[in-house]
Chains A and B, each alone.
Chain A
């Protein structure tokens, strides 16, 4: 055994967040009156400081430490930066909503930070053990956050459902990992990759493990046939938690899918691609069709999220065609671009629900958006941007995300899959446009002016404008994704 002292510098962002979790816990335990504000401030401070730490430790060359368990590469750094910034936005959006309902206990921010730590661990892991521990840290914190409104039967039920199904999915994933370990003799992802490449491992056992791994990853992404929890949990959770659940973990789930499948099991790409093909097509079809029938905006966005994750998988599954890896870079970076664009849109869409809600009133129904143009033309326009972008109408960021993914699918030669995706997104445009129609052509149900704090309004405006601006200039973000993919692949 030759032990190498780990290079702590590379993991400084993780260590910082871990220390800040402890600081936040102790500080809020002793600060009685100001505990709520202090917890919020400390959480935001930690996330902002983590941005700077990650920026200063960003490595263009991939390097591993902690006995090959931790990998520091540009892709991980970029995804971590996205996680921090979307977490900052999500905490800011949720604050007034939680305060109105007396839910802004310090534990909320503590769990949010712990969840961030879990996602960072997932994003930077090169080892199935750390990947699994990061996933559990994120999921456990999320289960508790979903059930955070403990006096509401709905929230508790959603938390319970999510917990039981999530535990099952973790079990599947763990079983798959144990099979991979049995076949390759290593838990390290790069080691698994080279063992698969050398054909040293037994392929049927690997495939057997792969099935469970794909199932576990699909559950965490919330795609068909592992989507049953998504609508109920989105609807039952308090809106700020849904906001977090629908956005930030998708980045970590993308990182997990990418690290496990495209990194560790690249040699089996023909097999997992055909599995994902079914999953993606089914998600796009079911998500869009089921969303048509929804009256609850949170449920509608949940089904739309299922179809969006299906679209993201289109990018992942178009990497290798008959052993030809020419398109892999484009395909994977289009999937990453899709994940980032979806997080941006999802934050804005749920942010609008928070904006329209006030003490004792949740704007969860689509009817609550009726006549929004009369009440606030500016926010109606922003919501229109977001809905257009989700529908994939040019020139918003969602359009370019869909375009990039479809280009990858066509380049790989799966024309039928591209056809299904295009037809279903045309059908899906109906329910997004229905929201726009309600906002602009219907009479408002209640005429009360919007009562949201200034910071929420400013951030939401910036978020909505980002959806529009990135739609006009997607090249920068696209190039960034490609660059990150290139340097880490």
Chain B
């Protein structure tokens, strides 16, 4: 067996196990950590395919930024684990039957002759000077300029959606707009109400209504 094949099977085994771990882990933190492991191994497989740029960006962007952020979010969330697992056993039989059936069908198609080496011959090996990054850069801004720009708009949608669903004016903040402060004047704040003089009653509670100042 070639060295590359050994590496491929090594990485793939860990990848599949890690992916199973994401689904089966009892604790979300562990699930996130398994996902990080899965990303690392997927990056390794991409390296084998000489897609260095994608491999590095997968590790840098997903593992370095997205998953760490995700980890913080999961840690900060107060998740009720007992409620999450509620109904697991009652759904299991149906889910297991369907899952096994689906897996069986997928193995029939994907494990069959359609994706073997004779159906899909290996691509020609590229020269050592071949740069994956350069190739990507060439098509990203030319051939794929349209979907590239659209993907930027999808990110914009996500940003706008996140802001519009979560941003709230902080009530506790003591900040006052200087504009409204400067625009304030006496007439806007104080209103003098003319009233007929009232005689003092023996009841002390009635005395308070004499000179009424209405604030804004």
Interface on A for B, CB 8 Å cutoff? 1, 3, 6, 11, 18, 21, 25, 66-67, 69-70, 105, 107-108, 110-111, 114, 117-118, 121, 127, 129-130, 133-134, 136-137, 140-141, 143-144, 147-148, 150, 182-183, 202, 204-205, 208
Q: Establish whether residues A144 and B164, one from each chain, have CB atoms under 8 Å apart when the complex forms.
A: yes
The answer to whether A130 and B146 touch across the interface, beta carbons within 8 angstroms, is yes
Residue of B138, B143, B151, B153 with highest tally of chain A CB at under 10 A: B153
Which B residues touch A3, using CB under 8 A?
Answer: 142-143
**A129 and B153 in contact (CB under 8 A), knowing A1-B138, A111-B160, A144-B165?**
no
Give chain A residues whose Cβ lies under 8 Å from the Cβ of B115: 182, 205
CB under 8 Å from chain A, chain B span 93-143: 105-106, 109-110, 112, 114-115, 119-120, 138-139, 142-143
Q: How far is the CA of A157 from the CA of B167 in the complex (A)?
A: 18
Nearest residue (CB) in B for A70 is B146
Q: Does B138 lie within 8 Å of A133, measured CB to CB?
A: no
Known A1-B138, A114-B160, A202-B119; judge A130-B114 contact (CB<8 A).
Answer: no
Q: How far is the CB of B10 from chain A (nearest CB, A)?
A: 24
Chosen A-B contacts, 11 in total, with CB atoms closer than 8 Å, are A1-B139, A3-B142, A110-B164, A111-B161, A114-B156, A117-B153, A129-B147, A137-B157, A140-B154, A144-B160, A202-B119
Question: How many Å lie between the Cα of A465 and that of B106 in the bound state?
Answer: 52
Shortest CB-to-CB span from B136 to chain A, Å, is 12
Tell me whether B157 and A140 are in contact (CB under 8 A): yes
Which B residues are closer than 8 A to A by beta carbons? 105-106, 109-110, 112, 114-115, 119-120, 138-139, 142-147, 149-151, 153-154, 156-158, 160-161, 163-166
Q: Which of B114, B161, B165 has the most chain A CB atoms inside 10 A of its CB?
A: B161
- Inter-chain contacts of A111 with B (CB < 8 A): 157, 160-161, 164
Q: How far is the CA of A130 from the CA of B106 in the complex (A)?
A: 27
A150 contacts B165, CB within 8 Å?
yes
In the complex, how many angstroms separate the beta carbon of B25 from the nearest chain A beta carbon?
Answer: 19
Query: Shortest distance in angstroms between A103's beta carbon and chain B's nearest beta carbon?
Result: 11
A117 to B160 CA separation, bound complex (whole angstroms)? 15
Alpha-carbon distance A107/B165, docked complex (angstroms): 10
Contact (A141, B138) CB under 8 Å given A1-B143, A69-B146, A204-B114: no
In the bound complex, what is the Cα–Cα distance between A202 and B139 (angstroms)?
29
Report whether B158 and A140 are in contact in the complex, using a CB–CB cutoff of 8 Å. Answer: yes
CB proximity of A273 to chain B, nearest CB, Å: 21
Contact A204 B157 (CB under 8 A): no
B153 close to A18 (CB less than 8 A) = yes
Closest 10 pairs (CB-CB, A-B): A144-B161, A107-B164, A66-B146, A202-B114, A3-B142, A208-B109, A67-B143, A140-B157, A133-B150, A205-B114
**Do residues B146 and A114 form an inter-chain contact, with CB atoms below 8 A?**
no
A150 to B139, CA, bound (A): 41
Cβ-defined contact, B165 with A147, below 8 A = yes
Chain A residue with minimal CB distance to B120?
A: A182
| A140 close to B161 (CB less than 8 A) | yes
- How many Å lie between the Cα of A316 and that of B2 in the bound state? 51
Whether A204 touches B112, Cβ cut-off 8 Å, given contacts A114-B156, A143-B161, A147-B165, is: yes
Minimum CB–CB distance for A422 against chain B, Å: 34
Q: Across the interface, which residues of A come within 8 angstroms of B109, CB to CB?
A: 204-205, 208
Chain A residues near B106 (CB-CB < 8 A):
208
Out of A110, A129, A134, A150, name the residue touching B160 (CB < 8 Å).
Answer: A110
Within the assembled complex, what's the spacing in Å between the Cα atoms of A105 and B161?
Answer: 12
The verdict on A107 contacting B150 (CB below 8 Å), with A67-B143, A114-B156, A208-B109 known, is no
Chain A neighbourhood of B114, CB < 8 A? 183, 202, 204-205
Kindly list chain B residues whose C-beta atoms are within 8 Å of the C-beta of A110.
160, 164
Q: Name B151's closest neighbour in chain A (CB-CB).
A: A133
Q: How far is the CB of B79 from the nearest CB of chain A, in Å?
A: 14
A117 CA to B154 CA, complexed, in Å: 10
Cβ–Cβ contact B145 & A6, under 8 A: yes
Q: How far is the CB of A48 from chain B (nearest CB, A)?
A: 21
Q: A67-B144, A182-B115, A182-B120 are in contact. List 16 more A-B contacts (CB 8 A).
A: A18-B149, A18-B153, A21-B156, A67-B146, A105-B164, A107-B164, A111-B160, A129-B144, A129-B147, A130-B150, A134-B150, A140-B157, A204-B109, A204-B112, A205-B114, A208-B105
A157: shortest Cβ distance to chain B, in Å? 13
Q: Which residues of A contact B146 (CB under 8 A)?
A: 6, 11, 66-67, 69-70, 130
The answer for the CA separation of A6 and B146 in the assembled complex, in Å, is 9
Residues from chain A with a CB closer than 8 A to the CB of B147 are 69, 127, 129-130, 133
Q: Contact: A136 with B154, CB < 8 Å?
A: yes
Chain A residue at smallest Cβ distance from B106 = A208
- Bound: A38/B136 CA distance, A: 41
The CA-CA distance from A392 to B164 in the complex, in Å, is: 40
Q: How far is the CA of A111 from the CA of B156 in the complex (A)?
A: 10
Q: How far is the CB of A129 from chain B (nearest CB, A)?
A: 5
A184 → B minimal CB distance (Å) = 12
